[in-house]
């Protein structure tokens, strides 16, 4: 439990103090955000955001990495394979996002990497993660993940290495893009992903207390390194809260694709390593809903030539309906917290032993 507190506190402090430095550095170098033309034309609020420093996700990633390392140095404990793999996934996807953000700034446009190049970067990082996560067994023969689909724990038969790799890539690309789509209003993605990370701190701690390695019993969890996965979640959560202090409306810095892709990656990595892959759909329900709004909008427009929403993703639909940005952000935060609470409730109820 001490590791979790140290990781969260160090991540918070580093991000809180480091973000103003990043704001000054990026402002001097002209690393400002470009705005989608249709948004800039329809909203004076978005016109005022042009030029706001972006790539703030670098602060989140670096603060989380240092916080994780500090939590282990403080207790003279080595890092675990599970924790390092999730952090690798976060950092690798963050690097893809950083390249995307840098191209936007260099080209002075709202689009960075071509969609194919961006997807290729996500797939390469995801493939390395998928290859390693089912290997590296510990002394008990338990690997960070099994080639099986999971909900509240592993379910069903093995789907094989190839099938599992494809499934992992779908999760990684899907959730990194889902968080990316959720970004766009000040503080929205930070608050939404923060609720999910808080849930994973509790899930990892609960799995530790009911781990089959320590106490074999009904409904115990065959999860490797649950405590360290909670430490990873706490480190990223602390860094995210520190960043949100400066990212809250009106934002003084944006996380950019650097942050959104990294955060989506860490959520997918935690879900895979804690054996709660399908549960993430509920925990991150807001991101899923926003992603579905884009799929519905594009699909319906291609079939009929008409739009379901005034603009997708969903948050911009409500903007064009006249909702204030802070109203949308706070209400969407509430939805995100309700989704995380529902997921935690399902996780706890499933664990409760049935009547004897």
**Cβ atoms < 10 Å from Cβ of 355:** 3
Is residue 180 part of an annotated ligand binding site? yes
- Quick one: how far is CA 61 from the chain centroid? 11
Is residue 186 part of an annotated ligand binding site? no
Whether the ω angle into residue 250 lies within 30 degrees of 0, i.e. cis, is yes
What is the token pair recorded at 115?
């969609």
Whether the Cβ atoms of residue 290 and residue 313 lie closer than 8 Å to each other: yes
| Pairwise CA distance, residues 171 & 318, whole Å | 28
Whether the Cβ atoms of residue 207 and residue 319 lie closer than 8 Å to each other: no
Strand partners, 154: 150
What is the token pair recorded at 43?
């909203």
Burial of 117 (0-12, 13-18, 19+ CB in 10 A): middle
| Pairwise CA distance, residues 74 & 96, whole Å | 31
| Pairwise CA distance, residues 162 & 212, whole Å | 28
| Pairwise CA distance, residues 108 & 84, whole Å | 35
What is the token pair recorded at 248?
């809250």
| Pairwise CA distance, residues 105 & 34, whole Å | 7
What is the token pair recorded at 294?
């884009």
| Pairwise CA distance, residues 264 & 177, whole Å | 7
**Cβ atoms < 10 Å from Cβ of 146:** 18
Please count the CA atoms within 13 angstroms of the CA of 120 that sit on its side-chain side.
6
- List the binding residues: 180, 257
- List the binding residues for Mg(2+): 180, 257
């Amino acid at each position: 439990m001490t590791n979790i507190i140290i990781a969260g506190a160090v991540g918070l402090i580093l991000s809180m103090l480091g973000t103003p430095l990043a704001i000054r550095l990026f402002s001097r170098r002209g690393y400002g955000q470009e705005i989608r033309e249709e948004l800039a034309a329809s909203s004076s609020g978005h016109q005022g955001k042009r030029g706001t420093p972006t790539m703030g996700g670098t602060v989140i990633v670096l603060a989380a990495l240092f916080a994780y390392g500090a939590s282990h140095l403080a207790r003279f404990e080595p890092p675990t394979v599970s924790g390092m793999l999730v952090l690798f996934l976060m950092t690798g996807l963050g690097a893809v996002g950083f390249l995307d953000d840098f191209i936007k700034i260099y080209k002075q446009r709202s689009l960075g990497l071509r969609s194919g190049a961006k997807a290729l970067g996500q797939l390469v990082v995801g493939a390395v993660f998928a290859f390693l996560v089912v290997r590296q067994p510990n002394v008990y023969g338990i690997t960070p993940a099994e080639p099986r689909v999971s909900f509240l724990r592993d379910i069903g038969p093995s789907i094989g290495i190839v099938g599992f790799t494809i499934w992992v890539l779908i999760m990684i690309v899907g959730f990194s893009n889902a968080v990316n789509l959720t970004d766009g209003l000040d503080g929205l993605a930070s608050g939404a992903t923060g609720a999910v990370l808080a849930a994973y701190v509790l899930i990892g701690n609960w799995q530790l207390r009911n781990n089959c390695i320590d106490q074999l019993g009904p409904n115990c969890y065959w999860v490797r390194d649950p405590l360290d996965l909670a430490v990873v979640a706490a480190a990223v959560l602390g860094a995210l809260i520190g960043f949100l202090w400066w990212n809250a409306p009106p934002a003084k810095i944006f996380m950019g694709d650097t942050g959104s892709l990294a955060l989506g990656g860490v959520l997918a990595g935690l879900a895979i390593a804690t054996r709660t892959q399908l549960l993430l759909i509920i925990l991150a329900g807001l991101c899923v809903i926003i992603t579905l709004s884009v799929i519905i909008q594009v699909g319906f427009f291609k079939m009929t030539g008409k739009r379901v929403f005034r603009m997708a993703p969903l948050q911009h639909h409500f903007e064009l309906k006249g909702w204030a940005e802070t109203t949308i952000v706070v209400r969407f935060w509430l939805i995100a917290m309700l989704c995380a609470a529902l997921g935690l409730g399902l996780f706890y109820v499933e664990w409760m032993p049935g009547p004897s």
